[in-house]
Structure formats: C-alpha cells, structure tokens
Amino acid sequence: MSADESSSSGLRPPASGLPSPASGLPSPASVLRTPASDTVALRCANIHRYLGTGEGRVHVLRGVSFEAHRGQVEAVVGPSGCGKSTLLYLLGLLDRQEEGDIWINGRLMSNSSDAERTAARGANIGFVFQFHFLMQEFTSLENVMMPMRKLGRLAESEMHDRATQLLAAVGLGDKTHRLGSQLSGGEQQRVAIARALANAPAIILADEPTGNLDQRNSGIVFDLLTRLAKENGQAVILVTHNPEIANRCDAVRPMRDGVFV
Amino acid sequence: MSPNLRIASRFLTARKRAMLMSLSCIVLGVGLFVVTQATTSGFELFFIRTILGTNGAIRIEDKIQDTIRSMAAAGNEGGSNFRIAMRNEGKKYIEGIEEPKLLTDALRRFANVAGVSSVLRGGVYIRSSFRTEAVQVFGINLDDQLRVSDLEHQIVQGNLDDFRSSPSGALLGREMADRLQLDVGASFVLDALGESRRYRVSALYETGVSDIDRVRVYLNMGEARSLLKRPTGASFLQVNVYDKDRAPQDAAQIEATLQYSAASWQEREKVWLEAFRALTYSSAITVSVFTLIAGLAMFNTLAMIVMEKTKEIAILRSMGYTRRDISRIFLWQAAIVLMLGTVAGWALGAVVTYAISYIPIRIRGILSADTFIVNWSIWHYVAATLISVLMVMAASLIPARRAARLEPGDVIRGTAQ
C-alpha cells in the first residue's frame, strides 16, 4: 500500500508511538516477531478444548492447527457448535485450551500468565464481536480511544487524532461525539472495527461481525474490515456463517466437529 | 484522569437511583456521626470543666499511716532490704490534714501543680425565716480557692469583694438560696455545735451540680474555724494542675511521697466519666448503622452493575484491561460515591452541629447548661470518615473481585452462542 492509498482511506499512520506496519516503521507487534515466522502473525498447533462438566462435557476442538498471515483475511466457516467461536477466543487469548500451543508474533503464549496474555491482547490483538459491545455510556470517539488509553503509548492529543482518523475511515467522522446508544447497529459495528484497529494490532479477530446486520451494512462492514486490515498489513481471522462473505476472503477454512475439514 | 477512573465515573450513571441511595446513607451516616460525637463529647468536656472548676483536679484528704501488717508485707516482699511500700492492705487513714501549710508548700514543688487551697469542711444547719436545712460549710481562703476553681465565674448574683471584705459574708448556692428564699444581702443563721451565728449572703454561685449548689456554703476560713471550732488543720486540700490529663500520675506521686491519700478528678468521677464514654460509644454504634446500610446498598448496587456490565467487562479485558483494572474500576465507583458522600456528610454534620448549639435546653444536675453543648473536633470528622471508608470499601471488595474474576471467554461465548 502506498502512502497515498493510506491517505485516501482517511487513516494516516499515527504521529508517534503506534506506527502502522504499512508506514514502513516497525509496528509494536513486529518487535516480538521471529525471523522464521516473519509473515505469520498467529499460529496454533494441536489445540484441544473441552466445554462443560461431567456428563455434559463436550470435546469442542479436537487438535486444530492453524496459521494466519499478515495482510491475509481468513474465514473460518462451519455449522453452529462446530467450535469456530471457541477457536477464535482461544486464538485471542480470551480462553485457555486443555492441550496445544498458540504463538502470537512468534511468541509462545500457551503457558503464559494472565498478565502476559492480557498485555499481548492489548498490544497485538483487536476484536470485533457479533454484538458490537460498545460502551453505551461513552461516545464513539471515547470508545475508540479506550484501548489506546490502556496501552498508553500515545499522548492524549495523539490518541484523539488517531481515533478521529479511524472513525473518519469507517465513515463516522461526523458522529464522533454520539453516544454508543445513539448509533444504529451498522454504525456501532463500524465503531467496533475502528476500536479494534486503534492500537494497530497485528491480528484482527472477528466473530461474525456481520451476523447482526442487514445485507447492505454487512457489505459495508466487511469491506471496511478487510480494506483497513490489508492496508495496514494485519492478519484477519473472521468467523462467519455467511457464504457470500466467506467467499470474498483470501482463504476459507471449513470446520466440522472441532476440526478443519 | 486514569482510564479506570474515567470508566468508573461513567459506570456510576448506570444505576443512578441505587447510587443515590448509597450516597444518601453515607451522607447521613457521616453527618449524624459527627453530630452525635460533637454533642456527647461536648457535654462530657463541659462536665469535666465543671468538675475541675468546682472540686479541682486533685483532692488530698486523709493522712495514710502504715500499720505493722502493711510494713511487714512490704518488707517480706523486698527481701532483706526493708522499705515502706504503698500497699492498701492494713493501711490506716487518719482523717483530715494536720499541717495544711507544710503540705501546701510541699505540693507547690510538684511541677504540674498550679495552685493549692486548704478547705475546712463541717456539717451545720442553716436557718432562714422560711425553713431549716442541713448543709455543709466550706471554709476557704478566697484567693487560694480562686486559683483552684472557677468560683469567680460561677457567681450569678452579688460579688466576691463583699465576701472578701466581710467576715460574716457567705457564698450560697443558688439552689439552696431558692429553697431557703434568700437573696443577696439577706441574713441567715448557721447552727453548729450548739452555737448559732448570723451571716449575710454576699453572693450566690451556680456550678450546675446539684450536690454542690444545694448543700455548700462558703465562709471565710477564719469564720469557719471559729464556727466549727477547729483552730488548726484542714479537711482537705484542693489542687489545680496545669495538665489535667496528668492528674492520676501526679496523684499517685503525691500519695507515694507525701503519704496523704490523693484522688484525681478521673478517679473521683469515674462513674460519670464511664457513663459519658458508654454514651459516646453507643451513639457512635447506633449512628454507624447508617454507614452499614450505606455499605450494604453499595454492595447491592455494585453487584447489580457487575451483573449488568459483564459484556463490557469482557470487552475491556479483550482490549488489554487487566483483572486489577476491572477491580479498580468498581472500587473507584465506590470511592467516588464515598468521597462525595463523606464531604456532603461533613457539611451536614457541621451545619447541624452549629444549629444544635443554639437550641435552648436547660440542664441542671451534674452540669449547668442553657443550650446544647457541642465540641468541635477534627477527630469526629476523621472517625466518621474512617468508619464509612471501612464499611463501604469492605462492602465493595466482593463485587469488585467478582468482576475481576469474570472470564471474558465465558462471557462472550454465553452471549454469542
């Protein structure tokens, strides 16, 4: 991506602290990257996960292995209950697997502490969920600034500028001061995308980001997510039921009964 | 502003009514705590001032004489070195002070002693044209007595100069004067040891203590000696000290060195002081119920917010907010309400205390007061704050920890699927 393209998308690299990978400067995630896995942002091997207890215990993931590359959008598809979302939460370090390993930017996170996993999430992973999960008491701008405030790499004015740029990039430049509760479902999801991109993470994990939207908004949200992620060289893993959306991704990984088929 | 504080302040608006309930309980708890402590300690301090102003800080009454038994007991304990130790067993008390001047001189050498007054006491009958009553004569040297009491400020009618210059002048308690229907300038008769003498009321005093105002007649020392037929000695010495809180130690030292029984004001008025202390504690405990309710309300409110905000907690965790951040977000909410409630409670306490100090109330018996007596002390505000902090923050810990323990994966999975 050229600098012009970046400007045309409305998302310029931040002034300091959080350079986008596309800007040619090292991203926060690249600091942890090993040479051997330069294009691999995320890798997992032989992941097993059980849910429930006693007789209701279900073997949800049965030895899943997977790689996500920078600048690629990968779709994970499959019927409900096949383990797509469970895999996504494991990859996002929101849950712990019973067996198997996960590397984020070449760093093994399987046995890391809760604090290390939390820090890795803040710096390297952006989430977009089906049910937007915006903070309703905060404005769009504040929602986007929230992960940046936690990471604390930018000054307040820089955070403000970057959040404004991100909201402009998702087409909400005129609604920066609207509360979450004052936005439509599609708008809320676009704010959620801007928020996921706020810290310029190496990985974007999206759990049915268009599942709660109409067809028009689904197209807008998907286009935005993939375009911004590609422009910034981020790996996108997208769980979806929508075959139309899945077919527009760089790779589709069908899943059934806890394994890729 | 830290991100946690920013989020906490917005979350507060999620349950405004519940938060207002907690806030008002904190305001009431802190405010009423301050008011009750200000009034109870106000009356207690005033009572202490009254004690010191009437009977002095230390009273030295009887000579202690060791008996053979007490000396033997002390000797055995000390081994071969014989010494006289202070022991109550087998101790003999000889009533009164034989050499008040010598003892006064000795007492003046104590660093904390500010004044000493010899008093001669004796039972007499007082007769007016209206009635006869049994009272006690207190023979005093006025200038000495003024150094160990507040008699000067307790005069409510007449003046002390008249008493000083007139040998037949007497100071009567107002309550006694009312019962006998005597005014300043009126004459009355004292009957003692088969002899009757006529005196004139120089002034009326009022200490507020019924036991004093009803029975005590002050006469000049010379006249009292003559009436009671005791040309030498004194009944007791009344001692004033610079530091009233050191009175028990001084009394013990006086007793040990001078061999006279010495009772500090704390020892003499132990019953009343204990009653005041019990009242202070019981009112503090009663009023702390408001703070306890505030704590429970805060617990309830935060627990509800935690339940309502599980998705937000999960998303915050996904953004990199740690468990400690989540815990702090909820503790901050409690802290914000606590701070607002405490400051408002201070203001309420101060305003009500000020207003109460002007409420007319006539109290006589153990002290004399015409309005509520309040004591302004920063420590009442500090104690109220500490209690509310303890209750509210303790109550907030459980929901805060529960929020921090939420697993984001579980929360999101539960919502998404």
Decide if A80 and B319 are in contact by the 8 Å CB cutoff. Answer: no
CA atoms within 13 A on the CB side of A171: 12
How distant is the Cα of B405 from the closest Cα of chain A, in angstroms? 11
Question: Who wins on pLDDT, B243 or A132?
Answer: B243
pLDDT above 50 for B228: yes
B269-319 pLDDT per residue, tens: 888 889 988 988 888 888 888 788 878 888 888 888 888 888 888 889 888
- H helix intervals, B88-141: 100-107
Q: Which residues of A touch B416 (CB under 8 A)?
A: 85, 129-131, 207-208
Alpha-carbon gap, residue B177 to A135, rounded angstroms: 79
- Band of pLDDT at residue B89, cut at 50, 70 and 90: low
Alpha-carbon gap, residue B148 to B239, rounded angstroms: 6
Lowest mean pLDDT among A24-33, B11-20, B154-163, B270-279: A24-33
Q: Which of B333, B38, B59 is nearest to B46 (CA)?
A: B38
Question: Which CATH architecture describes the domain A3-27+70-93+124-260?
Answer: 3-Layer(aba) Sandwich (3.40)
Judge whether A177 is closer than 8 Å to chain B, CB to CB: no
Q: For residue A113, what is the nearest residue in chain B, using CA coordinates?
A: B322
A186-229 pLDDT per residue, tens: 888 889 888 988 888 989 999 888 777 777 777 877 888 888 77
Give the gyration radius of chain B's Cα atoms: 32
Interface contacts A/B by beta carbons within 8 Å: 85
- Band of pLDDT at residue B71, cut at 50, 70 and 90: low
pLDDT above 80 for A15: no
How distant is the Cα of B9 from the closest Cα of chain A, in angstroms? 10
B389-417 pLDDT per residue, tens: 988 888 888 888 888 888 887 787 764 33
Question: 3-state DSSP call for residue B408?
Answer: helix
How distant is the Cα of B328 from the closest Cα of chain A, in angstroms? 13
Q: How many residues does chain A have?
A: 261
**Which strand (E) or helix (H) includes residue A220?**
helix A215-231
What ranges do the domains of chain A cover?
3-27+70-93+124-260
Alpha-carbon gap, residue B131 to B128, rounded angstroms: 5
E-strand ranges in B128-206 read 132-140, 155-158, 169-173, 187-192, 195-205
pLDDT of residue A214: 76
Alpha-carbon gap, residue B139 to B119, rounded angstroms: 5
Decide if B417 and A80 are in contact by the 8 Å CB cutoff. Answer: yes
pLDDT above 90 for B177: yes
- Band of pLDDT at residue B72, cut at 50, 70 and 90: low
pLDDT above 50 for A17: no
Tracing tokens 């690299």 back to the chain, one arrives at A13
B128-145 pLDDT per residue, tens: 888 899 999 999 999 999
Does the ipTM exceed 0.85?
A: no
The fraction of chain B above a pLDDT of 90, given in percent, is 33
Q: Which of B319, B306, B137, B169 is nearest to B235 (CA)?
A: B137
